Amino acid sequence: MESEPITSDELIGRTVTIIDCTDPSWVNQKGFIIDETKHTFLIEIQNKYKRIAKQTATFAFDYHGKKTIVNGSRLMYRSEERIKKTR
């Protein structure tokens, strides 16, 4: 069991894969999280910046050597609020 879940960790700079989304064109897209707001991620995918609503997708992260899948609705906080809330 992980001592600190990814939902309470910094996500900017992490590699993310979108494994499910209400917009099928996003499925299987992989990139780096560049910025985060309460409702969206800004992701660099193939040298282009794309913004995706957290609530519409399920994300996969490599976290401590394991693939961690998180429903975007669990990430619906500003990054600083999410980190403080779980500490």
Span 27-86, pLDDT tens digits:
999 999 999 999 999 999 999 999 999 999 999 998 888 999 999 999 988 888 877 765
Span 11-30, pLDDT tens digits:
999 999 999 999 999 999 99
- Per-residue pLDDT band for 87 (boundaries 50, 70, 90) equals low
**What's this model's pTM, rounded to 2 decimal places?**
0.86
Domains and CATH numbers, the chain: 6-85 (2.30.30.210)
C-alpha distances (whole Å) from 10 to each of 4, 46, 71, 78 are 11, 22, 16, 11
Q: How many CB atoms lie within 10 A of CB 18?
A: 24
